[in-house]
Amino acid sequence: MKFFVDTADVAEIRSLAGTGLLDGVTTNPSLIAKSGRKMSEVIAEICALVPGPVSAEVTATDHETMLKEGRYLRAIAPNVAVKVPLTEAGLRTCKVLAEEGTPVNVTLCFSANQALLAAKAGAAFISPFVGRLDDIGQDGMGLIADVVQIYRNYAFKTEVLVASIRHPVHVLQAARLGAHVGTMPPAVIRALFRHPLTDKGLEAFLADWAKTGQSIL
């Protein structure tokens, strides 16, 4: 499964990119707003750090303006993926941009029927929001299972990008179901490294080594 980080914090992206484990980045207007910077500058800087897809989201709600914004965003860098909402106007925009060769990430997906429409519109990525569904008592991972199965049934090329990931268990569940991508906040990615037995084992190894008085170098 590919790992994307969901943030517009350039320092965090630079740090995680240094691990070699980061495959892409997703942003949205809320994350860009938190940066306090101009969107085009932030996206350009992120794209220079990460060779994989960097999702930059339109803010318009009508098709014509979405299309203009999408074409503007894709011109920032070759690895920009334009993000559009799962609305009728968003899918119309997705179809046009996809036909022009622009990868499109269709976001705010909350049903398998919506995901089916996005695939038919030529989306490169579909972003179902599992955490937000869980918040209202619905089964977020059940949606992922449905979408993965539907896409396999018809050999759609659209990748399932699991969004609104809240904790490492979501990552594990998404990987088990065969989702193509998981996008998550930096804290969740860092949590994947940690396990109390790893910490305990390392502490014991280092204590035993210190007793020898040796140095490897």
pLDDT digits (tens, 9 = 90+) for 64-78: 999 999 999 999 999
Q: Is 217 within the bounds of a domain?
A: no
Are 103 and 83 within 8 A, CB to CB?
Answer: no
DSSP string across 104-139: EEEEEE-SHHHHHHHHHTT-SEEEEBHHHHHHTTS-
CA distance 24 to 40: 17
Q: Is 171 within the bounds of a domain?
A: yes
| Number of domains forming the structure of the chain | 1
* DSSP 8-class letter at 202: H
* Positions in the chain whose pLDDT score sits under 70: none
Catalytic residue (choose from 34, 83, 95, 211): 83
Q: Is 12 within the bounds of a domain?
A: yes
pTM (whole model) above 0.85:
yes
Residue 83 falls in the annotated catalytic set:
yes
The predicted-structure confidence for 171-187, as pLDDT tens digits, reads as follows 999 999 999 999 999 99
Q: What is the pLDDT, as a whole number, of residue 69?
A: 98
Domain of residue 64, CATH code: 3.20.20.70
Which domain range does residue 161 map to?
2-212
